[in-house]
Amino acid sequence: MTAKQKTPQFDTKPVLELIASIEADLQRLKDMLRQPTEMFDPANPHNKGGDGKLTEQGVECCYRMFDEGKSRYSVARAMKISFAAATHRFNAWRKAGGEKRIRSLLG
């Protein structure tokens, strides 16, 4: 290179900050995936399908809350479902045998 040809000056600080931010976000994602999710978690997104209805896992989660003696109101709030839906699940839980029913596996 001659004296007349100069390489353009490039400020690397913003790029390095962006890379550090992306690496931090990726590490957070890795940590989230490493932590085992609580199988009996009313807030678990796997409890509802794409149509908003409870999945088999969501139904079992409701039933386990009823097993613990939770009220329909408590179940509705924890599962983010309507009181009518919780009442429907409560009646289905009783019909299935209540606390003596055969539990399904979660997860």
Tens of pLDDT along 35-68? 554 557 888 888 888 888 999 989 999 999 999 9
Distances (CA, A) of 75 to 13, 36, 99, 101, 107: 51, 23, 15, 18, 19
pTM of the shown model: 0.60
Domain locations in the chain? 15-107
Residue 34: pLDDT band by 50, 70, 90 thresholds? low
Cβ atoms of 64 and 103 within 8 Å: the answer is yes
The whole-number pLDDT of residue 1 equals 52
Cβ atoms of 72 and 63 within 8 Å: the answer is no
- What does the pLDDT look like over 4-28, one tens digit per residue? 666 668 889 999 999 999 998 888 8
54: helix, coil or strand? strand
What's at 61, amino acid-wise?
A: C
* 3-state percent breakdown (helix, strand, coil) of the chain, nearest 5: 55, 0, 40
| Buried/exposed code over 46-74 (b: 16+ C-beta within 10 A; e: otherwise) | ebbeeeeebeebbbbbbbbbbeeebebee
